[in-house]
Structure 1
């Protein structure tokens, strides 16, 4: 019996809650191509996603647009931030890459929390390729983050 893997594309907020999940792209497809199979990407490309308007920074003069933090696997778009190539980086670009990686830690930590709390992700899931297990864990994760985060994800 062959095994299949699925890609989980997710968006998380600053509270470590999943605000979008897409499961189903074959695991052989790279992340950069897998995102193109999502409704979020489709709506982003067509302009239907309804992202928040740019927000003013403290002094009120600079407008910051809503963007998605990505890794180097994704294509560059005006609404995606991804790191600069590691070749010949100047100091400013090194700092940008460092700060971007710090922002990207949110989603990496969400995946880590889910894998730590739901041990089913430490082994092969011997079920037909149904997304119910993964989506149930995502919903339970958000519920636990909202209702009892001090116990579910303790700070120390």
Structure 2
């Protein structure tokens, strides 16, 4: 079971966004956080090292002196992030307007993005043979095979954004729980030890 419902966003943009503000002050309207089956903690975002660890956002362990369990956790989280990266990469490659700063009013930008999502969905339904060629895939050994969307992709690298990354005690505890879950018989996948 891989995390789903992910959002891919630049850390600096997120830190100044209305999304972050409404998540943290509770006005976004999400249901009350409750554990998922097997007491798996609930989180909605996956971040990289540029993001702060929060109960609603998990991120990989630091790459220094990692245990085997932490390396497995990082591998599993990276698989979840790949879902979001595939989705955004496909949209951005197909609708290049998403790669630029749009100069329209926020309402118009929202309409453009919604239109792109609708057109993308329609194209996937209408032309099913094309949809999987653009996705990143895994071979029988669970190695990533880059999809066609990566050919000519002109996004800039935003992985090195800096900012305050103070993690909360609850978020660290939640990440530790996920680490144990991904390394347990209930949460492990048979190939994960071969991937680290």
Relative distance call for 1:80 and 1:119 in structure 2 (3 A) is closer
Task: Check whether the contact 2:46–2:57 (CA below 8 A) recurs between aligned residues.
Answer: yes
Aligned to 2:132: 155
**Mapping of residues 1-156 of structure 1, within 5 Å:** 13=5, 31-52=10-31, 53-57=33-37, 62-120=39-97, 129-130=103-104, 135-150=110-125, 151=127, 154-156=131-133
**Structure of greater relative contact order (alpha carbons < 8 Å, 6+ residues apart):** 2
1:148, distance to aligned residue in structure 2 (A): 3.9
Aligned to 1:28: none
In the aligned structure 1, how far is the partner of 2:66 from the partner of 2:24? Answer: 30
Relative distance call for 1:136 and 1:42 in structure 2 (3 A) is same
Relative distance call for 1:50 and 1:139 in structure 2 (3 A) is same
1:45, distance to aligned residue in structure 2 (A): 1.4
Task: Check whether the contact 1:83–1:96 (CA below 8 A) recurs between aligned residues.
Answer: yes
Bigger fraction of residues in helix: 2
Bigger fraction of residues in strand: 1
1:46, distance to aligned residue in structure 2 (A): 0.9
Number of equivalent positions: 126
In the aligned structure 2, how far is the partner of 1:149 from the partner of 1:73? Answer: 33
In the aligned structure 2, how far is the partner of 1:41 from the partner of 1:121? Answer: 21
Listed as ranges, the gaps of 5+ residues in structure 1 are: 1-11, 23-30
Relative distance call for 1:142 and 1:91 in structure 2 (3 A) is same
In the aligned structure 1, how far is the partner of 2:40 from the partner of 2:73? Answer: 18
Task: Check whether the contact 2:91–2:116 (CA below 8 A) recurs between aligned residues.
Answer: yes
In the aligned structure 1, how far is the partner of 2:52 from the partner of 2:66? Answer: 19
TM-score of the superposed pair, with normalisation by structure 2: 0.52
TM-score of the superposed pair, with normalisation by structure 1: 0.63
Q: Which moved more, 1:37-46 or 1:137-146?
A: 137-146
Relative distance call for 1:111 and 1:67 in structure 2 (3 A) is closer
